[in-house]
């Protein structure tokens, strides 16, 4: 009898252990891989209607992998991601604009390449979207959308004063004078962020000298430098516009959202911004955005010279993968950004998709126009503050803001940039 009881007790304990171990095994097997992600699509950001819903769809349809995303405001993100990387605590996936900053992460072993983009998983992406994040033939980011910078203008205000959209710089200055004389801010500019003012400088360099001055100065081609006449002229034109009252008062202390608000409510007649800006204008005042707003390429400096098809742009948002991220992160990111649902959502919300075939789903005429202009571009200049190494990018942003503030001369700004370039990039 005792033996029987012992046997029953033994079997019970054994069965209990088996069930416990089995349950633990099932639980371990069913626990999903967690992938952390940082992006800038906060509720006030125009991409909020595209990316967060896509993450929710991904998580709802995957049990083995889950994305834990954190949204951080644009300018705060730029600081926080560098702090996290310096501490070795970067998320598995994070937003990037590509260029020199991403390249520094590549060289520092912070991020890994994404070979899946060269397979069928990457076949749906527009190849041009890889350019800002491809180094030595390897891809280091997946594009979410493409971008271009255009001159927005309020058609009603221009018609009110019998003006046409500026095709040349002289047209622009003349329009500024008319609006200023009539109590209307000619151009909305929130340059406390500095990248907003950089849009003006980069476009002016393109119009003054084409693509070669910047690329040759960056590549340290013999005889080339950031003191090229194109950079001097760009600085001079900025200060001409400031002195003509084109930007109103206090613009170096105004934030980008307030810039958008000034133009979006009809208090300003023009705004130089990316295609993504339109989605934000719809949130400010949909009636004005839908009925009164149009875009044109940046004006030519001389009607007899210049390429109107060269523009500033590139990748709108892209996402890189930490070198330490789980192996599943590569495929997860491509599935997230490469789905038909994502391409359709980007198009329907007024963005230029990075996926093939979805431009036909763009229903908004102004976004169709911007997508067409971007598609016809003879050259697309990636933003200097993303293309250049971080230290040199800061010099560019600082000197450009100083140009707008009239606290430096075009020559001094060019000399300061070239001195920094010689130290950071090397002598010619």
Residue 60 maps to a domain: yes
Assess whether 121 and 175 both reside in one domain: no
Per the structure, the count of domains in the chain is 2
Assess whether 352 and 393 both reside in one domain: no
Assess whether 222 and 83 both reside in one domain: no
Assess whether 87 and 129 both reside in one domain: yes
Assess whether 201 and 70 both reside in one domain: no
Assess whether 251 and 356 both reside in one domain: no
pTM for the complete prediction?
0.82
Residue 13 maps to a domain: no
Q: Which two tokens stand for residue 416?
A: 């300061």
Assess whether 55 and 187 both reside in one domain: no
Find the range with the poorest average confidence among 6-15, 58-67, 360-369. 6-15
Q: How far apart (Å, rounded) are the C-alpha atoms in residues 259 and 252?
A: 11
Reported residue count of the chain is 428
pLDDT at 19: 45
Assess whether 273 and 409 both reside in one domain: yes
Q: How far apart (Å, rounded) are the C-alpha atoms in residues 237 and 372?
A: 28
Assess whether 165 and 274 both reside in one domain: yes
Assess whether 75 and 169 both reside in one domain: no
Backbone angles phi, psi at 246, to 5 degrees: -65, -30
Mean pLDDT of 282-286: 94
pLDDT at 416: 98
368-408 confidence digits (pLDDT tens): 999 989 888 888 899 999 889 889 999 999 999 999 999 99
Residue 11 maps to a domain: no
More confident residue, 405 or 211: 405
Distances in whole angstroms, Cα of residue 350 to Cα of each of 6, 343, 376: 74, 11, 19
* CATH number of the structural domain spanning residue 174: 3.40.190.10
SS3 helix, strand, coil % of the chain, rounded to 5?
55, 20, 30
Range of the domain at 173: 149-312+383-424
pLDDT at 131: 84
Assess whether 389 and 400 both reside in one domain: yes
Assess whether 143 and 165 both reside in one domain: no
Residue 26 maps to a domain: no
Mean pLDDT of the chain: 91
């Amino acid at each position: 009898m005792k033996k029987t009881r012992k046997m029953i007790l033994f079997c019970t304990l054994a069965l209990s252990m088996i069930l416990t171990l089995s349950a633990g095994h099932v639980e371990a097997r069913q626990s999903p891989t967690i992938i952390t992600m940082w992006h800038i699509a906060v509720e006030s950001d125009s991409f909020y209607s595209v990316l967060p819903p896509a993450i929710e769809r991904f998580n709802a349809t995957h049990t083995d992998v889950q994305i834990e995303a954190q949204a951080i405001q644009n300018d705060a993100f730029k600081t926080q991601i560098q702090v996290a990387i310096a501490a070795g605590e970067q998320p598995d996936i994070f937003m990037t604009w590509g260029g020199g900053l991403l390249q520094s992460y590549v060289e520092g072993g912070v991020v890994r390449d994404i070979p899946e983009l060269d397979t069928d998983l990457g076949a749906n992406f527009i190849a041009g979207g890889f350019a800002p994040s491809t180094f030595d033939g390897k891809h280091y980011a997946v594009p979410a959308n493409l971008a271009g910078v255009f001159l927005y203008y309020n058609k009603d205000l221009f018609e009110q004063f019998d003006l046409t959209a500026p095709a040349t710089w002289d047209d622009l200055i003349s329009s500024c004078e008319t609006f200023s004389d009539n109590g209307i801010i000619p151009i909305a500019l929130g340059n406390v962020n500095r990248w907003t003012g950089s849009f003006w400088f980069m476009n002016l360099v393109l119009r003054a000298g084409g693509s070669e001055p910047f690329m040759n100065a960056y590549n340290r081609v013999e005889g080339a430098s950031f003191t090229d006449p194109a950079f001097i002229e760009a600085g001079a034109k900025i200060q001409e516009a400031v002195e003509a009252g084109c930007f109103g008062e206090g613009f170096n202390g105004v934030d980008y959202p307030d810039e958008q608000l000034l133009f979006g409510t009809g208090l300003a007649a023009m705004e130089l911004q990316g295609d993504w800006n339109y989605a934000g204008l719809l949130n400010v005042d949909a009636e004005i955005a839908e009925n009164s707003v149009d875009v044109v390429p940046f004006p030519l400096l001389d009607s007899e010279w210049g390429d109107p098809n060269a523009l500033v742009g590139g990748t709108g948002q892209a996402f890189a993968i930490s070198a330490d991220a789980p192996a599943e992160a590569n495929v997860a990111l491509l599935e997230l950004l490469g789905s038909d649902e994502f391409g359709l959502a980007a198009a329907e919300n007024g963005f230029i998709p990075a996926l093939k075939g979805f431009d036909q789903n763009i229903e908004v005429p102004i976004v169709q126009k911007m997508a067409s202009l971007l598609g016809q571009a003879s050259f697309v200049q990636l933003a200097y503050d993303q293309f250049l190494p971080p230290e040199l990018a800061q010099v560019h942003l600082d000197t450009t803001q100083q140009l707008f503030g009239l606290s430096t001369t075009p020559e001094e700004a060019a000399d300061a940039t070239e001195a920094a370039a010689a130290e950071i990039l090397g002598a010619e």
